[in-house]
Amino acid sequence: MSEQLVQRLLNELTKLALVDPHTHINPHAPASKTLADIMGYHYYTELAHSAGMPKSQIEEPGLDPKTKVGRLVESLVHLDNTVQVGWLVELCRKFFGFSDDRITPANWEALYDRAAAKMAEPDWEDQCLKQSGIERVFLTNDFDDPLTGFDLKRYIPCLRTDDLVFHFSNPTVRQRLAKATGIEATSPDKIRQAIGKLFEHFVRHGVKACAISLPPSFSPRRPAKSEDLAQHFNAAFIDADTVPGEISSHRRLGQEFVFWTIAEFCAEYKLPFDLMIGVNRRVYPNGVFQGQDLFDQRVSLIQYKDLFNAFPQVTFPVSVLAQVSNQELVSYSWIFPNVVTNAHWWYSNIPAFIELDTRARLQAVPRNKQIGYYSDMYKLEFAWPKFNMYRECLSRVLAQDFVIARKWSEDEALLLGRQILRGNVESIFKV
């Protein structure tokens, strides 16, 4: 493969301004204030912990940000082979004038101070977005988010529904729902009314999607009738499960009802429903914050066939946590008009998997049904290195599989690349 060809494609794709279709950005504090905000990202804390750093040193209460960075830097000697540390070095070069190959005990303090000064500039948020080539950013909003106090043209609401589906029995969740909607969810019909109120609120504020993270055990099915569920309301929606780690049959019916109701409102309001499938929570309960969850190869998209068939009018952008699930996702997107391949999530988000998965998707899935990438970032500084990693992988696939193997012109390959990077985000999410 011609490296010059790959670089030409990459240079052109880098010029494209992007919409990031899935993040965890807090729009009230979107950018970092110190390197601790960046190195506190779970990728670094979980890798440092895995490499031998005690959890107590990472999560010590009241730990000063600079001290925390100094401690994490000590672990980088074990982590410099990882792509995640590659992101860190790349963003420090991009934003903070860092010129060394590695962040070390000898150079980190100067970098920390230089970064803090840069982040303190009043327009740092704008600088960060502009230098990263990001125009708009999707959020992950709690169902009771008032959606006020930030620029709705820059930060796009997305209704996250995990708490409603999987934690409705928690009294705090029900109290939040009642406060947000003015409806006490004391029956299946009242739950439906309350969820409808949430959708009305989010639609008024420009929501473009709903989203949920789903465990391997979940299989959405058309729920029992409301009147049947009402007979077992407490067991389905209120009572705690009696056996730790297990879900009662009634509770499962309650989860299916809430999930299906959300899908029905997505159909009514013509909203895509992002499904992030396959995460097992707290596999490693002694891990650091956000470093406890892993995937499970027992998950299959066959569990979602009833949903995909029941809602042909709803677009389902699907993310799978494991690279081993990609072939199944490709096949479902190949057959179902309403199933869309969605980015490279979490443990699949390394170049070795991205390039393989991208190649399979581009060879088999209609070009208008692929969302190439989202950053999943918590702070704006991560948009640049993450998207750049994906663009490099995409450029290699376009060069090898289309320009060289299929004799496409570079312009034709770039049209495909731009559609995967941005065009489909605009058409699928109507932004």
Give the residue-averaged pLDDT of 195-223.
Answer: 97
- Asked if residue 83 and residue 164 are part of one domain, the reply reads no
In eight-state DSSP terms, residue 237 is: I
In a domain, 5, yes or no: no
Describe the strand order of the beta sheet including 316-320 as a list of residue ranges.
158-160, 209-214, 273-277, 316-320, 339-342, 370-371
If one counts the domains in the chain, the total is 2
- Asked if residue 274 and residue 412 are part of one domain, the reply reads yes
With a pLDDT cut of 70, the percent of the chain lying above it is 98
Domain end, chosen from 95, 119, 143, is at 119
- Asked if residue 157 and residue 114 are part of one domain, the reply reads no
- Asked if residue 157 and residue 96 are part of one domain, the reply reads no
In a domain, 391, yes or no: yes
- Asked if residue 159 and residue 53 are part of one domain, the reply reads no
Domain end, chosen from 119, 150, 166, is at 119
Question: What band does 225 get if pLDDT is binned at 50, 70 and 90?
Answer: confident
Examine the pLDDT at 12 and tell me if it is beyond 80. Answer: yes
- The Cα–Cα gap between 340 and 338 comes to 6
- Asked if residue 107 and residue 235 are part of one domain, the reply reads no
Examine the pLDDT at 425 and tell me if it is beyond 60. Answer: yes
- Asked if residue 159 and residue 86 are part of one domain, the reply reads no
Give the residue-averaged pLDDT of 410-426.
Answer: 98
Residue type, 264: E
Examine the pLDDT at 19 and tell me if it is beyond 60. Answer: yes
In a domain, 24, yes or no: no
Question: Are 395 and 16 spatial neighbours (Cβ–Cβ below 8 Å)?
Answer: no
Give the residue-averaged pLDDT of 116-134.
Answer: 98
With a pLDDT cut of 90, the percent of the chain lying above it is 91
Q: Is 136 helix (H, G, I), strand (E, B) or coil?
A: strand
- Asked if residue 148 and residue 46 are part of one domain, the reply reads no
Examine the pLDDT at 244 and tell me if it is beyond 70. Answer: no
Q: What pLDDT does residue 296 have?
A: 84
Question: What band does 236 get if pLDDT is binned at 50, 70 and 90?
Answer: confident
Window from 10-14, 111-115, 249-253, 265-269 with minimum mean pLDDT: 249-253
pLDDT in tens, 275-309: 999 999 999 999 999 999 999 888 999 999 999 99
Q: What pLDDT does residue 227 have?
A: 80
Q: What pLDDT does residue 242 have?
A: 53
Give the residue-averaged pLDDT of 257-266.
Answer: 97
In a domain, 59, yes or no: yes
Examine the pLDDT at 247 and tell me if it is beyond 90. Answer: no
- Asked if residue 349 and residue 253 are part of one domain, the reply reads yes
Q: What pLDDT does residue 173 have?
A: 96
Question: Are 260 and 225 spatial neighbours (Cβ–Cβ below 8 Å)?
Answer: no
- CATH number where 73 lies: 1.10.2020.10
- Asked if residue 197 and residue 249 are part of one domain, the reply reads yes
Closest CA to 36 of 272, 282, 378: 378
Question: Are 245 and 253 spatial neighbours (Cβ–Cβ below 8 Å)?
Answer: no
Residue 263 CB partners (closer than 8 Å, separation 6+): 220, 273, 307, 310, 311, 314
Range of the structural domain that residue 45 is part of: 34-119
Question: What band does 245 get if pLDDT is binned at 50, 70 and 90?
Answer: low
Domain end, chosen from 119, 153, 185, is at 119
Examine the pLDDT at 249 and tell me if it is beyond 90. Answer: no
Window from 28-37, 108-117, 319-328, 371-380 with minimum mean pLDDT: 319-328
In a domain, 309, yes or no: yes
- The Cα–Cα gap between 385 and 119 comes to 17
Q: What pLDDT does residue 104 have?
A: 97
- Asked if residue 321 and residue 270 are part of one domain, the reply reads yes
- Residue 153, φ and ψ in degrees, nearest 5: -80, -30
- CATH number where 363 lies: 3.20.20.140
Give the residue-averaged pLDDT of 265-279.
Answer: 97
